[in-house]
């Protein structure tokens, strides 16, 4: 059964895939609209579920890393909201996408390295699997 770390890693791959596609896209709004809407939905659900189910289980031991991760989520929300209000065929939109890409790459690296290590240390395989179920539920419930 996949545990929460498997599910988070799978989400990360999906998000980076969409960002790569957008990075390669032409500066034509109608080509970017759909993948960007998909990206926003994916990252929003993912970050909300991490903050609800994953981070609280670790907060006591890794407080500084978790606080930093939450602030990175907040910056990600700000940049992606900002992209909604910027013409999609503009150079400024592309510049914001680059910032979002760098931010996301950095965040994923720290999450899968430092934070996953702590999770494996603090939590049993059973707990990680149970959290996986709750993580999926949190993503479903919030957007049903
Ligand atoms: Fe994540
Ligand atoms: Fe995260």
pLDDT for the residue numbered 55: 95
pLDDT for the residue numbered 78: 98
* Every domain of the chain and the residues it spans: 4-143
**Could you report the per-residue pLDDT of 48-59, keeping only the tens digit for each?**
999 999 999 997
DSSP letter string over 81-120? HHHHTS-TTSHHHHHHHHHHHHHHHHHHHHIIIIIHHHHH
Taking the centre of ligand 2 as the mean of its atom positions, its distance from the CA of residue 28, in whole angstroms, is 30
Average pLDDT taken over every residue of the chain? 94
Which residue reads 């969409």 in tokens? 18
Helix, strand, coil shares of the chain, percent, nearest 5, are 85, 0, 15
Cα–Cα distance for residue pair 55/69, rounded to 1 Å: 9
Shortest-distance ligand to the CA of residue 16: 1
**Could you report the per-residue pLDDT of 94-140, keeping only the tens digit for each?**
999 999 999 999 999 999 999 999 999 999 999 999 999 999 999 98
Taking the centre of ligand 1 as the mean of its atom positions, its distance from the CA of residue 93, in whole angstroms, is 23
Provide the token pair at 46: 């993912």
The fold for domain 4-143 equals 1.20.120
Taking the centre of ligand 2 as the mean of its atom positions, its distance from the CA of residue 94, in whole angstroms, is 23
Taking the centre of ligand 2 as the mean of its atom positions, its distance from the CA of residue 47, in whole angstroms, is 5
pTM higher than the cut 0.85: yes
């Amino acid at each position: 059964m996949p545990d929460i770390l498997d599910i988070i890693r799978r989400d990360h791959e999906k998000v980076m895939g969409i960002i790569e596609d957008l990075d390669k896209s032409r500066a034509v709004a109608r080509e970017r609209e759909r993948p960007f809407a998909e990206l926003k939905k994916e990252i929003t659900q993912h970050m909300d579920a991490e903050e609800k189910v994953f981070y609280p289980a670790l907060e006591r031991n890794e407080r500084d890393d978790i606080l930093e991760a939450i602030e990175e989520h907040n910056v990600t929300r700000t940049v992606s909201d900002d992209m909604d209000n910027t013409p999609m065929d503009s150079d400024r939109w592309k510049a914001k996408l680059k910032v979002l890409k760098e931010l996301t790459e950095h965040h994923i690296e720290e999450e899968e390295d430092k934070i996953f290590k702590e999770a494996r240390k603090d939590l049993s395989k059973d707990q990680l699997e149970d959290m996986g179920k709750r993580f999926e539920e949190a993503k479903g419930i919030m957007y049903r």
